[in-house]
Amino acid sequence: MKTYLAYIAVFCIALFSACQKELKNDDGTGKSYTVHIVFQPVVQDQPLAFSQPYTNVFDEDYTVTAFRFYIGALSLKNNNTDVPVTSEVKYRLVDAAIDNTLSFSVSTGQNTFNGLSFQIGIDSLDNVSGAQSGDLDPARGMFWTWNSGYIMAKLEGSSSYSAVPDGNFTYHIGGFSGENKTMRSISLFAPQNRKVTLKDNRTVTILVNADIDKWFHGAHALPIASNAFVHSPGALAKLYADNYAALFSIASITEE
């Protein structure tokens, strides 16, 4: 009987140790790797220049004066498996006008990946938690006090095709519940589905393009002449959310 109990004890210890190793790190090394992520606002694959005239697929001229969006739930992809990364904040406000919001570093125990996934917008729980601090501070200009909710993404500019008297367009897209919610999950793969292996003393940078031109035609045809002012949740905001979900692509992955 004592021998039997001893075998059971040894088996339990071995099983516990194996589980600890598996939970500690996917690649079994126990190491943590750093990945640098850069969001690059572009228009038709060229870096965004504020107030520079552009033309969309509807032959409408436009200039951009503001472009912002929230990201969260970052994960590295290993084929169809998403491995969450470690970050010091839950959400980040990416603002095309503020360089230090466009790039940041995260850490991961996953040493092999071929893609990236993230969420655009703020989830329902944080939307109903009232005004918060950091990037969620209402002073950032991304919170509707009248609607007690966050703007997930914002695009502002001007166009001669705008029906608004001053010729501007302002798209403040929000809505966190029901069929018209505007939070979107983005899943991207590396060019040519390239697989990257993280190594010690090497910095890997993922460059993600956000092509603003697709705001007007990513999934739906939304010319400026038809809609130049969206400031509330609803069916139209949902269409713009479908479009901004199509803005993103991995432009490159570099190692230094």
pLDDT tens per residue across span 115-138? 999 999 999 999 888 768 999 999
> What is the pLDDT, as a whole number, of residue 11?
43
Q: How confident is the model at residue 146 (pLDDT cuts 50, 70, 90)?
A: confident
pLDDT given for residue 29 in this prediction: 59
- Using 50, 70 and 90 to split pLDDT, how confident is the model at 79? confident
Residue whose entry in the numeric block shows the structure tokens 């409408």: 60
Residue 248 and residue 73 in contact, taking contact as beta carbons nearer than 8 Å: no
Buried b (16+ CB within 10 A) or exposed e, 79-93: eeebbebebeeebbb
Q: Where are the domains of the chain?
A: 1-26, 31-255
pLDDT at 16 over 90: no
Mean pLDDT value of segment 196-222:
94
Mean pLDDT of 65-73: 97
pTM for the model stands at: 0.86
Q: Is the pLDDT of residue 141 over 70?
A: yes
What pLDDT shows up at residue 56?
A: 97
Closest CA to 114 of 73, 79, 75: 79
Could you tell me what percent of the chain has a pLDDT over 90? 71
Identify the CA nearest to 110 among candidates 32, 36, 187, 202: 32
